Amino acid sequence: MKFALSLLTLLTTLTIKADIANEGIYLRIVDDADAALKAGDFARAEKLYTEAMDLQPENPGNILLMSNLGMVRFYMGQDSLALITLDRAHSIAPRSTTILNNRARVRLVNGLAAEALEDYNLVIEISPDQPDPYFYRGMIELSGGLIKQAEEDFATLEKLDPEGENTQLARARLLVIQQQYSKAIPYLNRLIAKEKSSDYIASRALCNLMTGNLGEAAEDIADGLALDPNDGMLYLYRAMLNKQRYQTKQSKLDGQRAIELGVNPKTVESFLK
């Protein structure tokens, strides 16, 4: 009997040591996967996250690994597989806002705005103090013409994160859509001071055009095209600028170039009337 108990104790000790060793390997793989993700080595990160989950399939931490795996696949351009992965993660942890935010991002990039909106609605219901979902929901609402709803979401965003970049961008976009161009310029100035983005500069170029600041608009267009020579909207704004300067031939050429770069011909036509 004493021998049996000693054997049982030995087996238990060995099992505990094996479990500890296994856990150490699991954590090391996860750390390596996180490092690979941070370094942009997405293929290695995908392999390591999968390896960690296979090693300990019952580990509760796998839900976050699965969320990370979904985003890794998104970064690799595997959007369908990313959504399948995030859907599976959501089915396991339906109230994880990390998973919902990630899935909403992938859905939005893939043109699934209505589905992304559902995810952001749920995030806000679960965790109403997160600022980002109000920004993205508001931007979806803006694109759908739901101005009042967007205003409400942006007001909440401003309360939660008054100095945030998304807050400045939300206000600028809303004011541009409302054609309050002069009021939008200070927000765009703050954004551009932090990051010289061709998108921000293009927005300010439009505001300067619409408020008659042609010199400032010309500078913005030149700066924007230096950053992104294939930004179709900047060519459209240069076409508008040239038209106001009675440079008709150059205006038509820039309008055509804007269309070649993907700007809707009807948009070009309406802006150049």
pLDDT tens column, 15-47 = 444 444 566 788 899 889 999 999 999 999 999
Report residue 262 CA to chain centroid gap: 21
- Identify the residue with better confidence: 169 or 1: 169
Convert the pLDDT of each residue in 129-149 to its tens digit. 999 999 999 999 999 999 999
Task: Report, as an integer, the average pLDDT of 231-241.
Answer: 95
Is a pLDDT exceeding 80 seen at residue 155? yes
CATH superfamily of 28-111: Tetratricopeptide repeat domain (1.25.40.10)
Asked if pLDDT for residue 271 goes beyond 60, the answer is yes
Give residue limits of the domains in the chain.
28-111
Residue range 89-115: mean pLDDT, rounded: 96
pTM of the complete model:
0.83
Percentage of the chain modeled with pLDDT above 70: 92
